[in-house]
Amino acid sequence: MQKFAYKIVIIISIQLVIAAIHIFRLGQIFEGNLYNLYYSYFSDLILPFGIYFLLSANEYSIPFLRHWSVKALAVFSVATLAEILQYFGVYALGVTFDPVDILMYGCGVILAVIVDTQVFSRMFKFWKFEDPRPAKSNRL
Report residue 107's pLDDT band, with 50, 70 and 90 as the boundaries: very high
> How large is the average pLDDT for residues 126-130?
83
Cα 92 versus chain centre, distance: 18
As separate numbers, helices (DSSP H) first and strands (DSSP E) second, the chain gives 5, 0
Q: Taking 60 as the threshold, does the pLDDT of residue 83 lie above it?
A: yes
Q: Which residue type occupies 137?
A: S
pLDDT in tens, 3-58: 789 999 999 999 999 999 999 988 889 999 999 999 999 999 999 999 999 999 99
How far is 22 from 45, CA to CA, in rounded Å? 13
Q: Between the CA of residue 140 and those of 11, 30, 92, what are the distances in Å?
A: 42, 67, 55
How far is 133 from 74, CA to CA, in rounded Å? 27
How far is 87 from 95, CA to CA, in rounded Å? 9
- Average pLDDT, whole number, for the chain? 91
**pLDDT given at position 49:** 98
